[in-house]
Every structure is written in structure tokens, then in C-alpha cells.
A and B are shown apart, each in its own frame.
Chain A
């Protein structure tokens, strides 16, 4: 077994949001990855034959695919030293009170019940690998909206599931989508019927809580014609000493005239490798919006993408990345214009501090049929000290007639004039910098529901504390 290098997780992490509860598992798979483990997972979940075959085929693909040579350094990941499946409790809890006390303790720290008390329609919180807590407001069920965990969806809605699963991101898409396809567990499944508008955001809290545990959730969202849904995922993770791998796959289908917004606040502890494939298909006049905030993890490689399949489709990525000491956020977005008259925008804001590194990596592709399409990419990077680093790698491929494509990027530091102004008003340097950073990411924050915006501002504040002199 390869030795895992020591990882710096940030000395002050534990005081800020690190916490963990004793492990108590119903079932715990062995470390490592082989067809037996995959069969065991499938058997544990009582899955149909086709899913087992799908998993085994994906494992084959995973073994054959080389590690990506670009982006962050992934060579320290030891695939044989990871648990691929964990189940915290053998049944789904119906209400908050039914939850095991230690899990509740964890969620209390995260503020889930408060969030629910406020206005949440449904909470589908992922503790360890499987959804254990799940509630759905009656009104949603009445409208025909399905909001459940992905394992239950496979069991309860087999036709709908099979029709869409793996169609947006096939296992062979990349090495990590193949891995996820082989060992996936948990995640959310949402179906919004024709013309239904889900007024309140649906959200799930994801957590990793066992040492060396990989989390491979799989989310599938289907927005039928003319519907609307806003899905929010947020993550925090307690502190551990060895590397953890998080490799999710998120597939979204947005049918004609529908709109889907997918918001992520990622705050894994700084020893997690976060390698996520997110992709949406947007059909005629549909709108897909990714709002993606990356604050935590040691390495994140994530490029939410939208395939604009039919005329009038619109794609939007709003991405914020914050990299502190020892972190590398390699994030961005992809817009693949397949049909004419499609539009897309990518806005990226990144902040590096304390030796952290942020990279914007994006791809705009206009296929020959994508006539009269438009795309605009804007990247702003803020470097808070001279140990930090920022990169921009935008790939723009235009094969279509009469399209307009623009890309702009700037890299700067916190301006001395702004600092001087604030400090002349009696604000300390540290507070002033925090204010400027919060202002810098405001276009992102204002797209978030209130309690997330508050949480994000607080997180930035925590990250910024003691960052200056």
C-alpha cells in the first residue's frame, strides 16, 4: 500500500467548524476497490440486475482510464485505501425526532433544524453514504414532485429512473464519473412534473464523517416542460488526518421552457479531494443555472457544464472559489452550444490567500449547428498576499457561423485606495479586507437564499480572520 503523505488541514480548522461523533455503523465495507466490493454494495442495496451490470461495467472503465494529466496533482490518491460504502442506519427516518442522537448532534452544529424551521420544504440530509433523514412537504407530493434519495428512487420509480440515469454523464465520460458509476450511493433524485413550480428551494446537507471514507453520491434531477426547481446542496466536514475522496456525479435534464437552478456551497475539510462531474442538458428555451461556491477541500476539480441542445436554451454558471493555505481550487464551467440561438454566460470570482491557489478552467464550444449563439465569460481573481497564486485557463472553440464569444479576465490585489478609505473611517485593516472580499463576491452571495448568504459571509469572515499581518 502506498504511503499517504501528511496533509496539512489547517491548524485552526477544528476550532472553527471541525467536530465529529463516534462512528456507529450498521454495515461497513472493506477498504479497496474490486468487483466483489461492487457486488456487495449492489447486493446490500437489493438492486436490480441491470444496475449491478452497470456498476461492474463502470468499474472496468475506471480501471482502464488513465488519471488526468492536467489540473491538480491527484497522484496521492490511493484508491485501495478508501471505504467505498458505508451505511449509518438501516432505515430511513421519517421525522427529525426519529434521528439517532449522535447524528442529531452533528446536525445541530450545522444548523439544519433551524433552516428547516424557517422555510424548508424538504430536507434530505446525507449522513455518511446514505440519506437517513428525509422529509417532504405534503404540498409537494400533491403536485406530483418526487424528491427522494437516489437509492429509493431506483426502487420506487424504476421506469423514470432507468430512462434518465447515466444518460447525461455516461460512465466513460471521465475516470471519476466511472468510479462514481461503479460505487455510487445516496444523492438526491428530483422529478418535477410539467408546469409545476417548486416555490421553495429543496436542499440536502451532505456530510463525510468516517475516516478515509469516500462519498460517491449520485444526483439526478429531471425538470419536465415548463417547470421550475431550485436545489441546494451544502457541505461541511469534520477534521480527519488522512485523505478522503469525494467524487459525485450530478445529472440534470431541463426540458423545454423549464428552469433549474442548482446551488452548491462546498466546504469540505481541507484534506478532502473533491472531484465532481456536474452536467445539465438544456432543451428548447430552457434555462439551467449553476451557482457554485467552493470554499473547502484540499483539491477541488469541478466544472459544472450545460449542453445547450435546442434553440433558445440558456446556460449560466456563477462560480466562487476561495483557496487558503494548502488548498487548490480548480473550478470553472463548460458551455457546449449544440443548437442555434443559444446563449451562455460564465462568471467566476476567485480569492487566493495564504499560499492557496485558485484556477479557473473553462470551455466554450460552439458546434457548427450553433449559429447565432452567444457566450460571455468573465473571470475576476483577487490575490490577498504574494504567496498565493491564480491561474486562468479558458478554452474557446468556435466552429459555428455568426456567433459571438467573449472572454475577459482580471487579476488584482485588494486595492490600497479602498483599504485606505475604509481604514480612515476607523475600520481595522483586517475588517476592511473582509469587507472588500465580501463585496467582491457579492454577485454570488446575492443569488443565495438568505441563510446561506449569511453562512457564506460568516465563513469568509472565519477564513479572513488573522489573515493580515
Chain B
């Protein structure tokens, strides 16, 4: 089934989707047809080569079953947790005004393709004042041999709601090929506190495109972490709009690129109002002939006085043929702010290596300890225990 209008209609009718969603898919499909393939002339894609990617090659869509929700043993009353498409039918008043309102379908060709054909994904609604103590986990994978897995997560946190959510993108086999996108929209009401972790460990021959965007209202707190390990190509956008005073966004990432992997991260800390805070730290290690690109922007809008923004990208280059690009950008339109950023690209510190080896630790172990220590700063900030254990185990496996 190719990516055509007919196949799109088929998805919609197969699942009895409401009219508004069909229309939305249709307009996204039009955008997909209209938008050009990004090329190296576009600043965002200058270092990111997608010329080898042809979605038509992977047009067997994975249906609803490529997903499993691990629910906490008890859900407080009023919480809605179900597959997104089910929620679109049952709760249009919640879904319709928000779906694809943060992650725009017409941003580029891949965003449009995702919006037109998304299948799996989770909808989580936590009403005002409700607290969930155990994390909610959505697992996404190719189950029925689908070569395209396109889940979309929509999270709504009511005023003062508090919970953690984990999206896990899993490979059945490490050598599976295909097209993946895992996009997420998070709405935080006044005073909400949300922990969100996305662990991407697709197979080694996967093209992955993800758009994550959160909107933070007054006094809300978001702690967001991306762990990127899989895919042959992975492009992740992480964006936070701070629209209410007192909002606080913590955006963290860990990535480990080896073999011929290519990872691209695009971040935005958009301070639309004052007295807001954002803290970004992306740490990555590169091995073999891997390549990574980080490009991030802090934007402080005109009225956003007394904003406090931090942005750092640190790259540990473990081999001579790995390449890292780091572009941390600032656009500051208000003078009453504190805004700092930094980027580093460098090898394992020889002095640290010498110190460890002089204590009788073999070279390989010493290196491993240094890499672990490098990630430690982010690991200890992982918002909840379940995710921390998972990420530590993944990194452990990766370090060998």
C-alpha cells in the first residue's frame, strides 16, 4: 500500500475515523504533495542528507497493534488513556482542537507525511489536580511486518496535574529497515508537572523523524528527556513554548552514535513571556564513522523580561572518523534576561585517562568509566526511576 490518497482514505475508513480527522489527514496529504523534498539549500537541512530516503519504499503501514500501553495498576478517576485514534472518536472535544496544533503538519514534507498517515500513538488526559504516581508507558514497534511505524502521542495535563510518561520505540530485530516517526505534543496547564522520556532504539536501518513540542502555561514544569540510540538516520526536533509566567522547561538528551549512524537534533526554547526558565543539555558520544548535528535556538521574545535560559551541547568524540557539528544559537529581543550557552566537541581527556590507568585500570575500562561519567550528569536528572533504569541498561549494553 503506497503513500497515496486512496491508502490514506482506507486507513481512515478502516477505523471509522470522524470527519474532522479525515479532513485533517487530507489537508496534510495535500501539504505532502505540495512541499518539496528538503535540500541542502535549506539551512536546517544543510548538513542533513535525506536524498537517500524514499518513503515509498516503506509504505506498508503498521496498524494499531504495533503498540502496547503499560498502564499503572490503578488509574485515578477522570484520567483518559487510550490509543489516539480511539480518543479522536470518543473525546473529539479534547482531541480536535489540539491535535497537530503544536506540531504543524505543513512544516516540511516529513511532518506532512506523518500527519497524513499516522497510525498508532497514545492519548493521555489527566484532569485538573490529578496525580498519577506510577509512570505511563507507551511502547511502539513493528509487529505485523509493517515497514512504516508512525505513532503520535498527545498528552494533556490539567491544572496542577502531576505524572510521568515514557515513549519507548523498540526494534523487534536490530537489522529491521523502515520508516519511523514518533511525534509528541504535550500541553501543560497552570502548575502542571510532567516528566516525559522518549527512548528511541529502532533498528539500524531505520529512517526516523520526530517532532516534539510542548506548550507550558503558568507555573508549569516540564522535564523532558530524549535518549537516541537507534536508526541509521534520526532527526528529532525538540521544542518548548513557554507561554505562561513561571513556566520551567528542562530539555535533556543523551545520544550515542556508532557505526554509520547519523543523528540530527533541532531544538527551540521559545520564551514568549517573562519570568520563564529553560534549561537544555544535550550530551552525546560518537564512535566509528558516526555523525551528529546539533542545532538549537533560544528565542527570547520582546516582552519576555526576566527570562532565564541555558543551552549546552557537549560531544565526546571517541574515534578519529566520527564527526560532530554543533550550532547553538541565540536570538534575544529583551535586555532584562539571563541567557548563556555553550558547546564543546572533544576527545576523551588524556589526563583523566592517564589518571585512571595509573591506578591500574585497563584502558578499555577507563574509557568506559569516562563515558559513563560523561552521561552521568544527565542520567541523574532523569525524571523517574523506571526510565533511569531503562536508560542505564541501554547505555550499559551499548558500551559493551
Could you give, for residues 302-322 of chain B, a 1 whenever the CB lies within 8 Å of some chain A CB and a 0 otherwise? 100100000000010101110
Using Cβ atoms and an 8 Å threshold, which residues of chain B touch A391?
Answer: 329-332
Least CB separation from B295: chain A residue: A395
Residues of B with C-beta under 8 A to A383: 332, 334-335, 337
The segment from B217-225, B262-270, B342-350 found at the interface with A is: B342-350
Number of residues of chain B lying within 8 A (CB) of chain A: 34
* B22 located at the interface, meaning its Cβ lies under 8 Å from any Cβ of chain A in the complex: no
Which residues of A from 376 to 400 have beta carbons under 8 Å from B? 381, 383-386, 388-400
Q: Specify which chain B residues have a CB less than 8 angstroms from the CB of A105 in the assembled complex.
A: none
Expressed in whole angstroms, the minimum distance between the Cβ of A64 and any Cβ of chain B is 15
In the bound complex, do residue A390 and residue B344 qualify as a contact, i.e. CB atoms below 8 Å apart? Answer: no
Is A158 an interface position by the 8 A CB rule? no
B323: which A residues are within 8 A, CB to CB? 397-399
Q: Which one of A108-116, A132-140, A409-417 is at the B interface?
A: A409-417
Judge whether B6 is part of the interface by a CB distance below 8 angstroms: no
Chain B proximity of A245: nearest CB distance (Å)? 25
Q: Which residues of B contact A394 (CB under 8 A)?
A: 327-329, 343
A28 touches B (CB below 8 Å): no
A413 touches B331 (CB 8 A): no
The bracket for how many chain A residues form the interface is 20 to 34
Which residues of chain B are near A395, meaning CB under 8 Å?
325, 327
Q: In the docked arrangement, what's the CA distance between A406 and B331, Å?
A: 20
Are A401 and B320 touching (Cβ within 8 A)? yes
Instruction: Kindly state whether residue A14 has any CB partner on chain B within 8 Å.
Output: no
152-169 of chain A: CB within 8 A of chain B: none
Residue of A nearest to B294 (CB): A396
Could you tell me the distance in whole angstroms from the C-beta of A361 to the nearest C-beta in chain B? 10
- A397 CB contact (under 8 Å) in B325, B334, B342: B325
Is residue A467 contacting chain B, with contact meaning CB distance below 8 A?
no
Contact A406 B344 (CB under 8 A): yes
Instruction: Tell whether, in the assembled complex, residue B343 and residue A396 are in contact, meaning their CB atoms are under 8 Å apart.
Output: yes
Q: Say whether B396 faces chain A, with CB atoms less than 8 Å apart.
A: no
Q: Report how far A394 CA is from B334 CA in the complex, Å.
A: 20
C-alpha spacing A388/B333, complex, angstroms: 6
Docked-complex contact B340 and A410, CB < 8 angstroms: yes
B336, A413: Cβ atoms under 8 Å? yes
Whether, in the assembled complex, B139 has its beta carbon less than 8 Å from a beta carbon of chain A, the answer is no
CB contacts (< 8 Å) of A396 on chain B: these are 325-327, 343, 345
Roughly how many angstroms separate A385 CA and B306 CA in the complex, as a whole number?
13
B338 within 8 A of A: yes
On chain B, the residues within 8 Å of A418 by CB distance are none
Inter-chain contacts of A406 with B (CB < 8 A): 342-344, 346
Known: A70-B43, A386-B302. A405 touches B328 (CB 8 A): no
Closest Cβ neighbor of B41 among chain A residues = A69
**In contact, A401 and B317 (Cβ under 8 angstroms):** yes
B347 touches A403 (CB 8 A): yes
User: Given that A398-B345, A405-B344 are known contacts, is A411 also in contact with B328, CB under 8 Å in the complex?
Assistant: no
Mark each residue of chain B from 30 to 66: 1 if its CB lies under 8 Å from any CB of chain A, else 0: 0000000000000100010000000000000000000
Listed from nearest, the 8 A-B pairs whose CB atoms lie closest are A401-B320, A383-B335, A392-B330, A413-B335, A404-B346, A411-B339, A407-B343, A405-B345
- 6 A-B pairs within 8 Å (CB atoms) are namely A386-B305, A390-B331, A392-B330, A401-B347, A406-B346, A411-B339
List chain B positions with a Cβ less than 8 A from chain A. 43, 47, 302, 305, 315, 317, 319-321, 323-347
19 additional A-B residue pairs with CB within 8 Å, beyond A390-B331, A398-B324, A407-B326:
A381-B330, A383-B334, A386-B302, A386-B336, A388-B335, A391-B332, A392-B329, A394-B329, A398-B315, A398-B323, A398-B325, A398-B345, A399-B323, A400-B320, A401-B347, A404-B347, A407-B344, A410-B340, A411-B330
Instruction: Write the residues of chain A forming the contact surface with B, with a CB cutoff of 8 angstroms.
Output: 70, 368, 371, 381, 383-386, 388-413
